[in-house]
């Protein structure tokens, strides 16, 4: 009989798994608040209905589970054959009946959780490859999923906000996003400061930066391209409220 508890004893990884599971439960709660008819409504993502969001989150769990299986067996099992296949899968999933769509989310989440739970402790460091081609240890799959469930719960557009997302998740999300900006050079002259904290991101070496500030939740919402409420931008003594749109994240 398989183990009924996580095989890893790494406290950092266990905390990450807890955040991922809490995010999954939060997404499930927001999904369950939607009627079948509500699923046909628009999400907060341009061009995507709520059906697309649910399908994406469900198929994402399956894709992440394939990476965990790769780490466990050593047999290469990519997330998706291609980005085109991934996109087609989401479009197809959005056409499922409401009960099938809900089952997709439920069953895929359980499957992923079991794969995590039963992964031997020494296999968490085995290398796998993301759909973007990044080679990462299997433990990265926990953060990959955490980010998906928390942010897309907001995208369902039925009351969840970035204020519902735990602060450690928001802080790591901002680290990811600003790191992507830096790699592309799109953060030149842009400095992000989180009100009431010592957190700052972006181009700290700029002589005269545009400084975008706001609460942690407001800054994360802005950085993910999901709204500018609660943000302010200052440059050379001038102020703009809300801040201009953030650079593209993905």
Q: Give the pLDDT score at 241.
A: 85
Q: Which domain holds residue 141?
A: 11-160
**Do 15 and 38 belong together in one domain?**
yes
Per-residue pLDDT of the chain in tens (250 residues, 90 and over written 9): 455 789 999 999 999 999 999 999 999 999 999 999 999 999 999 999 999 999 999 999 999 999 999 999 999 999 998 889 999 999 999 999 999 999 999 999 999 999 999 999 999 999 999 988 889 999 999 999 999 999 999 999 999 999 999 999 999 999 999 999 988 888 888 999 999 888 888 878 878 888 999 999 999 999 999 999 999 999 887 888 888 889 988 7
**Do 91 and 145 belong together in one domain?**
yes
How many angstroms separate the most distant Cα atoms in the chain? Answer: 66
**CA–CA dist 125, 136 (Å, integer):** 9
**Do 121 and 226 belong together in one domain?**
no
**Do 16 and 135 belong together in one domain?**
yes
Query: Residue 142 sits in a domain of what CATH number?
Result: 1.20.120.450
The last residue of a domain, from among 136, 160, 184: 160
**Do 113 and 175 belong together in one domain?**
no
pTM: 0.93
**Do 148 and 180 belong together in one domain?**
no
Number of independent structural domains in the chain: 2
Torsion over CA: 234, 235, 239, 241 (sign): negative
Query: Residue 195 sits in a domain of what CATH number?
Result: 3.30.1050.20
Does residue 248 belong to any structural domain of this protein?
no
Q: Give the pLDDT score at 226.
A: 93
- The answer to whether the beta carbons of residues 124 and 13 sit under 8 Å apart is yes
Q: Give the pLDDT score at 245.
A: 87
**Do 15 and 112 belong together in one domain?**
yes
Helix (H, G, I), strand (E, B) or coil at 130: coil
**CA–CA dist 203, 207 (Å, integer):** 9
Q: Give the pLDDT score at 1.
A: 43
């Amino acid at each position: 009989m398989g183990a009924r508890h996580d095989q890893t004893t790494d406290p950092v990884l266990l905390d990450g798994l807890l955040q991922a599971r809490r995010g999954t439960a939060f997404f499930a709660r927001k999904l369950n608040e939607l009627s079948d008819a509500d699923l046909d409504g628009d999400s907060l993502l341009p061009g995507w209905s709520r059906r697309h969001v649910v399908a994406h989150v469900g198929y994402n769990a399956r894709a992440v589970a394939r990476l965990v299986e790769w780490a466990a067996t050593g047999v290469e099992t990519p997330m998706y054959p291609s980005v085109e296949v991934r996109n087609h899968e989401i479009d197809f999933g959005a056409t499922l009946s409401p009960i099938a769509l809900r089952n997709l989310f439920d069953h895929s989440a359980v499957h992923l959780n079991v794969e995590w739970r039963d992964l031997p402790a020494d296999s968490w460091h085995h290398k796998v490859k993301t759909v973007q081609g990044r080679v990462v240890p299997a433990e990265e799959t926990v953060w990959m999923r955490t980010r998906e469930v928390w942010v897309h719960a907001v995208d369902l557009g039925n009351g969840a906000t970035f204020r519902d997302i735990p602060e450690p998740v928001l802080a790591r999300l901002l680290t990811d996003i600003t790191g992507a900006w830096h790699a592309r050079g799109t953060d030149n002259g842009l400095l992000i400061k989180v009100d009431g904290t010592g957190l700052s991101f972006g181009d700290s070496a700029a002589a005269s930066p545009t400084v975008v500030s706001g609460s942690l939740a407001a800054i994360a919402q802005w950085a993910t391209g999901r709204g500018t409420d609660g943000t302010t931008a200052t440059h050379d003594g001038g102020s703009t409220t809300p801040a201009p749109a953030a650079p593209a994240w993905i």
